[in-house]
Amino acid sequence: MNATAYADQSWFVMPLKPKSKEPAKFLRHGYLDATLDKQKIQDWFADPSTNIGIGLAQSSLVVLDFDFRNCKGNRKFYELLERCFASNTYVVRTADGYHCYYYTEPHHKNFKGKLIDGIDIKHRGYVVAAPSIHPSGVTYEVVNNVAAQVLPDDLAKVMMW
């Protein structure tokens, strides 16, 4: 998927430095500059090496960020990952795990920053999107190319304060 395709589904897009998670230098307000403006997106992504970021709150998205290096073999980590895959939502393979995307209601603002070791909850800010290239050289890859689902109540309950 390219940056314009994300905007077509109302996901706010921003440019990141090539092979980086950092916003492009010319963004004045970082992730707050993410946009749906197709002309701006085409200008930003004229260089195909530019990584893609998705502004989360603007897009009404929350992402569960699973990182195997930090899970410490916790069984709950694998149960939650399996739960996310079972929900048939949009999923991206990262350099060390998965990003599971969900739509969230505007009143869901009290998300924890971390669910357990190895699972971060991304709601404010942004995430790196496929097909960006991680600093390690690994390409972010969509592994479940379906529409993001609405955050299930059982997951919302454990993710919020």
Q: What angle do CA 89, 72, 138 make, to 5 degrees?
A: 55
Tell me the C-alpha distance between 78 and 134, whole Å.
23
Q: Residue 98: pLDDT above 80?
A: yes
- Sheet strand arrangement including 51-55: 12-16, 51-55, 126-129
19 sits in the region (left: phi over 0; alpha: psi -120 to 50; else beta) called left
pLDDT score recorded for residue 73? 85
- pLDDT confidence bin for 139, thresholds 50/70/90: very high
- The two structure tokens encoding residue 75: 């069984």
Tell me, what's the pLDDT at 108? Answer: 60
Give the pLDDT of residue 134: 97
Total tally of structural domains belonging to the chain: 1
pLDDT band at 161 (very low <50, low <70, confident <90, very high): confident
27 three-class SS: coil
Domain that holds residue 76: 3-159
Mean pLDDT of 3-21: 97
CATH number of the domain that 93 lies in? 3.30.2250
The three-class DSSP label of residue 40 is helix
Q: What mean pLDDT is predicted for residues 41-52?
A: 96
User: Do residues 44 and 50 touch, judged by C-beta distance below 8 A?
Assistant: yes
Letter string b/e over residues 57-80, b meaning 16 or more CB atoms within 10 A of that residue's CB? bbbbbbbbbbbbebbeeeeebeeb
Peptide bond into 131 cis (omega under 30): yes
Pairing of strands 126-129, 51-55: antiparallel
C-alpha span between 117 and 75 (Å, rounded): 11
Per-residue pLDDT band for 107 (boundaries 50, 70, 90) equals: low
pLDDT reading at 1 higher than 90: no
Question: Per-residue pLDDT averaged across 143-154, rounded?
Answer: 96
